[in-house]
Structure 1
């Protein structure tokens, strides 16, 4: 039994569920954000094991039957009741999180990937260190909230500024809503001002790409997609994501060099992960530059653009079952 944790709207999860169905592998999808109101859990620890169940409005899962957990993009538990103080609702939500994931982490199940490992692997300064130690080429980078250090850095060579984490979800009027995207952009020296002091910022040497690459790793399988876009050209946006959903971008298959192939596998092994997305720039000299990795990124656009069977690869890995059946870096 595969337990798939994600929110209600997740096209990537839908693709994996279809692939699991084609393989005849049973799967139950639920969102921890529905806990405790429409998800019920009971776990009993006895004789060294957790036993119990998860129950939704439509399905019931015996914890003993869970062989793998696919952690996609679940919401955190949302407790609360009429008249409950906000601080008490937050405490109750935290209790739900601790109990839910504490029991699931204890099962003899393969994880793709555990949320706690994803969180560590999402720290971008740490990513650069691990990438370098894995044999990957990394641009010179500055992490700072010093305006003077930032000005000096961008004056030395052409540089870009990048977010360290996704921005909050909000609409144009400030109300909660869809996630905003803050693109990577080049920073002329004259544009660095004292607002740098308001948060720790990431500056990085500009790599002018001949083209860019998105790599998807599922277990030991490595899928390379060349990204063809105007990104990096004179007068164009530095970030290829700005061209998504336009006719100015395309994705084609590309062979991944052995050094990069081995490097991304070593990188994921360092974090104890079975899945990861990687972004590279390839410069005019053919050098591959590691930019960042998303341990929980979506792959639908790569599969649609290249025809790679990525969803099937994810389904096959999950279907192989418990950590005893597959080398599970998550344990």
Structure 2
């Protein structure tokens, strides 16, 4: 049985569920954000293992039947309740998180990917040396909250500034809602000021690409889309995401060079991941690794290029389920 953890609205998860539906493999979708009020967990530890059940209003999951966990983008447990003080709600939510994932991590199940590994692999300052050690080209980068050092770095050569992590889930008026998008942009020495001291900032040498690539790795399979857009051209935003809803961007399938394939596989192994969404810029020098999202969505790549990514995810989960069944019957 496959346990799919995600929030209610997740088109990427929907695509995988449709593929799983064609295989007949049992799959249960839940959101940890419904714990503790709409999800009940009972775990009993004895003779070296956890047994028990995970239940919501419609389904009951026997923990011993869980063969694979597809961790997409679930909400964290929310213990808020009328009359419960905020500090007590935070404590109760943390207790739910610790118990829920502690028990699930202990199960002999395949994870795509474990949340703790995703969190470590999301550290962009860590990604660069790991990618370099795996043989991938990496850009010269500065992380600092020193305005002097930032200005000096930007003065030496054309550079961009980019976030180290996504922005909070909020609308432009600060109300809770959709996440704001902060694009990568070219920065001049004149634009560097004392606001740098308010947070660690990431500056990178500017690469002028011939084109860019979004590469999706699922186990050992790789699906790459060439991205042609005005990104990086003079007077344009240096981030292809800015053109996603325009007619100025084009996606086409592209083969993955052997050295990139080997580097990506080594990178996944270093972080103990089975999935990753990689961004590259390609120029005359080669494929430059920019970053990798261990939980990045792939829907737009599949829709634009027709590559069967959801099927590859489903196949990986189904294979784990078959191996789990063989182990239990043996």
8 Å contact kept, 1:36–1:79: yes
Paired position in structure 1 for 2:139:
139
8 Å contact kept, 2:2–2:321: no
Paired position in structure 1 for 2:236:
236
8 Å contact kept, 1:232–1:239: yes
Paired position in structure 2 for 1:158:
158
CA distance in structure 1 between the aligned counterparts of 2:114 and 2:151, rounded to whole angstroms: 39
CA distance in structure 1 between the aligned counterparts of 2:307 and 2:23, rounded to whole angstroms: 17
TM normalised by structure 2 equals 0.97
Paired position in structure 2 for 1:130:
130
8 Å contact kept, 1:109–1:323: no
8 Å contact kept, 1:20–1:27: yes
Q: Does the alignment pair 1:21 with 2:43?
A: no
The DSSP-based 3-state class of the residue aligned with 1:178 is strand
Query: 5+ unaligned residues in a row in structure 2: which ranges?
Result: 325-330
8 Å contact kept, 2:77–2:93: yes
Paired position in structure 2 for 1:328:
none
- Render the CA deviation track for 1:94-115: whole Å, top value 9, x for unaligned: 0000000000000000000000
Query: 5+ unaligned residues in a row in structure 1: which ranges?
Result: 326-331
Q: CA deviation at 1:57?
A: 0.9
CA distance in structure 1 between the aligned counterparts of 2:172 and 2:129, rounded to whole angstroms: 36
Paired position in structure 2 for 1:167:
167
Paired position in structure 1 for 2:293:
294
CA distance in structure 2 between the aligned counterparts of 1:5 and 1:246, rounded to whole angstroms: 32
Q: Does the alignment pair 1:273 with 2:259?
A: no
Paired position in structure 1 for 2:316:
317
Paired position in structure 2 for 1:211:
211
Paired position in structure 1 for 2:89:
89
The DSSP-based 3-state class of the residue aligned with 1:197 is helix
How much is the aligned-residue C-alpha RMSD, in angstroms? 1.1
TM normalised by structure 1 equals 0.96
Residues 269-278 or 170-179, more deviating: 170-179
The DSSP-based 3-state class of the residue aligned with 2:52 is strand
The DSSP-based 3-state class of the residue aligned with 1:24 is coil
Paired position in structure 2 for 1:183:
183
Q: CA deviation at 1:93?
A: 0.2
CA distance in structure 2 between the aligned counterparts of 1:322 and 1:201, rounded to whole angstroms: 43
The DSSP-based 3-state class of the residue aligned with 1:234 is coil
Q: CA deviation at 1:322?
A: 5.8
The DSSP-based 3-state class of the residue aligned with 2:69 is strand
- Render the CA deviation track for 1:189-248: whole Å, top value 9, x for unaligned: 100000000000000000001000010000000111101111111111100000112211
Q: CA deviation at 1:172?
A: 2.0
Paired position in structure 2 for 1:329:
none
8 Å contact kept, 2:224–2:256: yes
Moved over 4 A (4+): 322-325
Paired position in structure 2 for 1:8:
8
CA distance in structure 2 between the aligned counterparts of 1:121 and 1:212, rounded to whole angstroms: 22
Q: How many pairs are equivalent?
A: 324
Paired position in structure 1 for 2:327:
none
CA distance in structure 2 between the aligned counterparts of 1:31 and 1:251, rounded to whole angstroms: 32
CA distance in structure 1 between the aligned counterparts of 2:234 and 2:22, rounded to whole angstroms: 47
8 Å contact kept, 1:154–1:188: yes
